[in-house]
Amino acid sequence: QVQLVESGGGSVQPGDSLRLSCEASGRTFGSFGWFRQAPGKEREFVAASTWRLSARSYADSVKGRFTISRDNVKLTLFLQMNSLKPEDTAVYFCAVAVATTRLPPTGEEAYDYWGQGTQVTVSS
């Protein structure tokens, strides 16, 4: 059974950094991604990568500030978030897709397993 356990959320001030982690169960996948859902809004794509890190994709709103990565040994997924803004406030979800594709999918329907979500609040 696949399990994704997230951690690393919290409350920070604008301009601060946070690193979200997502521990995946002991198998490999085709792609992994991060999505977020702000209060009153639909869940949206943040970043995604192929499992081999050969291709990565970012939402325009986070490009240059967020970095998606993976620990090859521990199968832990990361989202490094720098220069955080109040509009980054949301519940962040990690997700994995079983299928292998040349580019990582950006639509949530392509992802098979999801973490429980971790809250990120950016406020002064």
For the stretch 11-67, pLDDT in tens is 999 999 999 999 998 688 999 999 999 999 999 999 999 999 999 999 999 999 999
* Structure token pair of residue 124: 């002064």
Q: What's the pLDDT band for 74 if we cut at 50, 70, 90?
A: confident
- φ, ψ of residue 109 to 5 degrees: the values are -70, -15
Q: What is the pLDDT of residue 1?
A: 81
Yes or no: say if 78 and 66 are a contact pair by the CB < 8 Å rule. no
Measured distance CA(6)–CA(117) in Å, rounded: 7
Measured distance CA(11)–CA(31) in Å, rounded: 28
